[in-house]
Amino acid sequence: MINVVVLGSTGSVGESTLDVLARHPDRFRLVAIGANRNAAKLAEQIRRWRPAYAALADEGAARELTGMLGTSVPETRILAGESALVEIAALREADCVMAAIVGGAGLRSTLAAARAGKRLLLANKESLVMAGPLLMEAVRSAGAVLLPIDSEHNAIFQCLPPNARVGSAPPGVRRVLLTASGGPFRDWTREALETATPEAACAHPNWVMGRKISVDSATLMNKGLELIEACLLFGLPPEQIEVIVHPQSIVHSAVEYLDGSVLAQLGSPDMRTPIAHALAWPERIASGVDFLDLVRTARLDFRAPDHDKFRCLALAQAAARAGGLAPAILNAANEVAVQAFLDRRLNFLEIAAVIEAVVARCAGGVVGSLEDVLAADMESRQLARERIYGSRVVIDATKSESARGAHP
């Protein structure tokens, strides 16, 4: 029996993970779940699963959760605060940790799972983007097993040679083809993008995702962050990773070898496929996903991304080339700008403008420690808020963002 912890259980990836676990009760046991502040949904999950531990980063929400449950689930211990997520990530009895907290809020708990030597199922791409060298070193030092959950990176992993190791350049690989759906605005004109609404940005044509990730997909920042992540996961420079737009989201990514062969992983656009793959690796288990019908799919289209219309991708590629703290700076500015767009304080095209301005002002540097990363993250967020809200309302904007939390 494999004991599983799900961080970010109330989000879309977390719920998909619970769905896969429910299909294999003889194989997996859920020992802990954690989220930011969604007390109502976490209460439902506690009643359904009755795990040994449940954690909420928001202490007020944790008190609300305790009131909701009363004495109805005495076997579940409720923990509160960011340290609670770190605690359940490193539980001695846990074998496998799903890191599905969105944004920088997931960094500490993801690092804790790696340092505890767990099988780490990484859906929190920001942990690699912000502190990739630290996370990869933690994985190596503790003997943890890191398996990528993003559909693209999981696809690449499946297409690599059997002897390939995460963090090392795979033998015989010429380049990686990272596919992007293009999001809901892939066919919009630049003029139309000026009036794009949060509702339109979150209406992804293929995937069901949270609001922040949906906006990242619409700007193509999601693909830029994935490029940075792929460099670290597969030991490749940015020049060996090409982003291509594939509207059908059937080819999840591909690997081109020196002999001219291209191996691709295909499947329905459903996160339960990579989740099931990573949970059971190197075996295969049922995921509940509809099987792919290539005849009904009929066609697969590919095209180059429009870097002028979607500036976020170019900014992420530049951060990947710069390395060091540049990706952390990029990520923090993006999180603040995306939230401002969702709050209708920025228009869609201004997201990239804010990020570009912040990246130009931050000094960067090397990733020497977690404190370096967190300091760069804080500076970038402050500069982004000043750019958006003005210095007189920075404190209020910070409070508002903190109250909402960075993940479901």
pLDDT in single tens digits along all 408 residues of the chain: 999 999 999 999 999 999 999 999 999 999 999 999 999 999 999 999 999 999 999 999 999 999 999 989 999 999 999 899 999 999 999 999 999 998 788 899 999 999 999 999 999 888 899 999 999 999 999 999 999 999 999 999 999 998 888 888 899 999 999 999 998 999 999 999 999 999 999 988 777 778 888 999 999 999 999 999 999 999 999 999 999 999 999 999 999 999 999 999 999 999 999 999 999 999 999 999 999 999 998 899 999 999 999 999 999 999 999 999 999 999 999 999 999 999 999 999 999 999 999 999 998 899 999 999 999 999 999 999 999 998 544 444 444 443 343 333
Amino acid at position 282, single letter: P
Element (H, E) at 6: strand 2-7
List the alpha helices (DSSP H) in 235-369. 272-280, 294-297, 311-322, 326-342, 350-361
Q: Give the predicted TM-score (pTM) of the model.
A: 0.89
* Cα 80 to chain centroid, rounded: 23
What does the pLDDT read at residue 298? 85
Count of helix runs (H) and strand runs (E) in the chain: 18, 11
- Pick from 116, 212, 152: which is nearest to 408 by CA? 212
Q: Do the Cβ atoms of 289 and 106 come closer than 8 Å?
A: no
Q: Which residues are registered as beta bridge partners of 5? A: 32, 97
Mapped onto helix, strand or coil, the DSSP state of residue 38 is coil
- Pick from 176, 179, 154, 177: which is nearest to 166 by CA? 154
- Domain borders along the chain are 2-149, 156-270+293-297, 324-404
Task: Take residue 211 and report the two structure tokens written for it.
Answer: 């609001």
| CB under 8 A, 24+ apart: contacts of 193-199 | 193/309, 193/348, 193/349, 194/347, 194/348, 194/349, 195/347, 196/347, 196/348, 198/341, 198/342, 198/344
Cis peptide before 247 (omega within 30 of 0): no
Measuring CA to CA, how many Å separate 363 from each of 128, 144, 167, 240, 389?
Answer: 20, 33, 27, 27, 22
Measuring CA to CA, how many Å separate 127 from each of 94, 100, 110, 123, 139?
Answer: 20, 10, 7, 9, 13
Report how far residue 142's alpha carbon sits from residue 399's, in angstroms, rounded to the nearest whole number: 37
Burial class (CB in 10 A: 0-12, 13-18, 19+), 207: middle
What does the pLDDT read at residue 162? 85
CATH number attached to the domain at 2-149: 3.40.50.720
What does the pLDDT read at residue 391? 59
Element (H, E) at 290: none
Burial class (CB in 10 A: 0-12, 13-18, 19+), 325: buried
Residue with tokens 């992804």: 204
Cβ neighbors of 61 (< 8 A, separation 6 or more) are 36, 37, 38, 39
What does the pLDDT read at residue 393? 47
What does the pLDDT read at residue 125? 84
Measuring CA to CA, how many Å separate 244 from each of 126, 241, 302?
Answer: 21, 10, 7
- Pick from 325, 320, 373, 337: which is nearest to 104 by CA? 373
Task: Take residue 37 and report the two structure tokens written for it.
Answer: 């502040």
What does the pLDDT read at residue 354? 97
CATH topology of domain 324-404: Rna Polymerase Sigma Factor; Chain: A (1.10.1740)
